[in-house]
Amino acid sequence: MSANGRLDVLKTYKMFIGGAFPRSESGRSNVIKAADGTVMGHSCHASRKDLRDAVTAARSGLSKWKGATAYNRGQVLYRMAEMLQGKRAEFIELLGSRGAGFQPAQEVDAAVDRLVYFAGWCDKYQQILGVQNAVAGPYWNISTPEPTGVIGAVCPAEHPLLGAVTLLAPVICTGNTAVVVSPAFAPVVSVLGEVCATSDLPAGVVNLLTGSVDELAPVLAKHRDVDGIIAIAGTVSPEIAKALREGAADNLKRVRLFKSAPLADATAWQSPGLLESTVEIKTVWHPVGS
């Protein structure tokens, strides 16, 4: 209750699925408290049905996003950086003293920089990852990268904003769509959804779920309409890492556990090498005219 006797209208921090902000179909929610124990609001606790809905949304948004020009994708990622910068004060307040290693302002600034960095790679990575192969015969043989498809990302709990952006930016840079599962402080992830919703990002490209990794990650790995899984080694338990690999083996989806490094380390996390995990290489033969 506020000082003047009014009841405060507390925010319910929702998921972001298919360009909308639904509550969990299960009706489950968690109480969000500040460090002093004050109730800040409530957050949705995603269910397995919510995850399946998110995969459906990601699949429906894939054709439009991967069909967009590289220039357009770069503009959208840059717009995400602009909108995140505009919410800088809100994110700093939400992050508070959570996490260790660097301050909330540094985390927000690093997340903005990471989006700008990968926005710049949208129209360049094909030249770096693609190649013209030397062959004996009257043919051109060209290998070029294409989006893998729907990528599931399991985010770290520490540094919820930068962790989500670090995994998300390379995925959408290369034309994939994403289903993000985060065990982190839900308000930060929900407000990141607000950034996505106001950044000209087509519906379904980014889908954000907050909840239990133990419950959701194995379902994500087994889902046959998910084409790849990414996470950071050391931020998921050995049991979850095993569940991701075993679930993915059923339909041969790619699983990549990135080498653990401090999220603030731009050298480790701002690299075109990260893009290689989110693409498939297609090789084309073409006859050379006389």
183 neighbors 212 (Cβ within 8 angstroms):
yes
User: What phi and psi, each to the nearest 5 degrees, are found at residue 271?
Assistant: -145, 135
pLDDT at 265: 92
Q: What angle do CA 157, 163, 164 make, to 5 degrees?
A: 100
Q: What is the pTM of this model?
A: 0.92
pLDDT at 134: 87
179 neighbors 51 (Cβ within 8 angstroms):
yes
Q: What angle do CA 17, 22, 28 make, to 5 degrees?
A: 115
Question: Mind listing the pLDDT tens digit for each residue in 208-220?
Answer: 999 999 999 999 9
- Pairing relation of β-strands 254-258 and 228-232? parallel
Residue 3's pLDDT band, with cuts at 50, 70 and 90, is low
Give the integer Cα–Cα distance in Å for 125 and 144: 10
Question: Mind listing the pLDDT tens digit for each residue in 28-73?
Answer: 988 887 777 788 888 899 999 999 999 999 999 999 999 999 999 9
Distance of CA 250 to the CA centre of its chain: 23
Q: Please provide the CATH number assigned to the domain covering 46-287.
A: 3.40.605.10
Phi-psi sector, 234: left (phi>0), alpha (psi -120 to 50), beta: left
Q: Please count the other Cβ atoms lying within 10 Å of the Cβ belonging to residue 144.
A: 16
Query: Token digits for 77?
Result: 């990622």
